[in-house]
Amino acid sequence: MAKGVWVIAEQRDGSIRRVTLEAVSTGKRLADKLDEEMGVIILGSGIEGLADEMFHYGADKVYLIDDPSLKEYTPDGYVTPLFTLINENQPSIVLMGATSEGKDLTPRLSARLKTGLATDCIGLDIDDQARLEAIRPVYGAKAITKVIWPESRPQITTIRPNVMEIRSPELGQKGDVIKIKTTINPSDIRTTIKEVIKGASHRVDLTEARIIVSGGRGMKGAENFKILEELADVVGGAVGASRAAVDAGWKDHQLQIGQTGKTVGPDLYIACGISGAIQHLAGMSSSKYIVAINKDPEANIFKVADYGLVGDLFGIVPILTEEFKKIIET
């Protein structure tokens, strides 16, 4: 019988990503309800030092798949050892973040395991039949669905970043570290990472940012994003863009927020010159607080905003920047 709640951890450059801490915290809550063990799988190269952090957030066991060929993520390299480990141990639930890596990996894994997958979930619980109950938005967040797995196991799901609560770490917690021996044939990895080119930006990644300042068509040009960058730097946030701004060539696609871009859920989302198309709302509507700045009082963005400022963003944003500076300095 399938038993155990497992999380597939995501690490980058030897650091665990925030969404993994959310997944581990959520997994621990589910495991406690089921009275089952909580496990975490970490893949990569030279990753042994990451196990302790997983114990601090609730893991009972950490499975390390450490191999030089896993230094950079590739779907072929990761999915095979994951399939073998999960298929042999039969956990009842497998969780991962709904990041670009999670969205690429989990469909391949669920297909091999011949089980269902619920993606981009915003809520997880256990029903009265000890089944996982997943809540996820559909149709551009116009509707919410409840997903269950009547029979197939494991129940695989990805969680939307910045939505699940992270539990307070217990620094004294320890657990079992299980090193998994795997032989990966380099010829089986069809994708080869030749070079990783990192952006020069000093700002936090969009999917992990607690504050995001985002611009749309109302920015009128690439050069005008400078005022958003100044505000983001003052508040320690990240800069995002709508699809309209990206399609216009004003910002790179990696900064696009929306249905065809990244899904974010910061504490504060400041939308500047963004009308509020349903595709954009699908990517940021889970933000805790939304501030909209737009000269059109009928803009759709105001329907989801907690606070709205009707006016010229080129006059409003610099004032906000100066006011935040005063607050931070005091």
> What pLDDT score was predicted for residue 264?
86
- Banded model confidence at residue 201, pLDDT cuts 50, 70, 90: low
Residues of the chain above pLDDT 70, percent? 97
Residues 78 and 83: their CA atoms lie apart, in Å, by 9
Which pLDDT score is estimated for 198?
A: 67
Residue 323 has a pLDDT of 93
Do the bridges between strand 15-16 and strand 123-126 make them parallel or antiparallel, or are there none, so unpaired?
A: unpaired
Residue 188 has pLDDT above 70, yes or no: yes
- Taking the C-alpha atoms of residue 295 and residue 262, their distance in angstroms, rounded to an integer, is 26
Nearest CA among 72, 71, 91, 70 for reference residue 80: 70
**Distance (Å, rounded) from C-alpha 279 to C-alpha 218?**
17
Distance linking the first and last C-alpha atoms of the chain: 59
Least confident of 56-65, 117-126, 159-168, 184-193: 184-193
Mean pLDDT of the chain: 90
Whether 200 has a pLDDT exceeding 60, the answer reads no
Q: Quick check: 199 pLDDT over 70?
A: no
User: What would the pLDDT profile of 218-269 be if each residue is shown by its tens digit?
Assistant: 999 999 999 999 999 999 999 999 999 999 999 999 899 988 888 888 899 9
- Does the structure show a pLDDT above 90 at 322? yes
User: What tokens appear for 154 in the block?
Assistant: 């494991």
Q: Give the single-character DSSP code of 68.
A: G
- When comparing pLDDT for 211 and 203, which is higher? 211
| Alpha-carbon dihedral angle through residues 163, 15, 44, 160, given to the nearest 10 degrees | 10
Residue 66 above 60 pLDDT?
yes
Average pLDDT estimate for 277-301: 91
Domains of the chain: 5-188 (3.40.50.620), 206-329 (3.40.50.1220)
156 Cβ neighbours under 8 A, 6+ residues apart? 93, 94, 95, 96, 106, 109, 110, 113, 115, 116, 117, 118
pLDDT digits (tens, 9 = 90+) for 140-158: 677 889 999 998 999 999 9
* pLDDT bucket at 1, cuts 50 / 70 / 90: low
At 135 the pLDDT is 94
**The predicted structure's pLDDT at residue 208:** 83
CB 92 within 8 A of CB 113: no
The pLDDT of residue 207 is 82
Whether the predicted pLDDT of 169 surpasses 80: yes
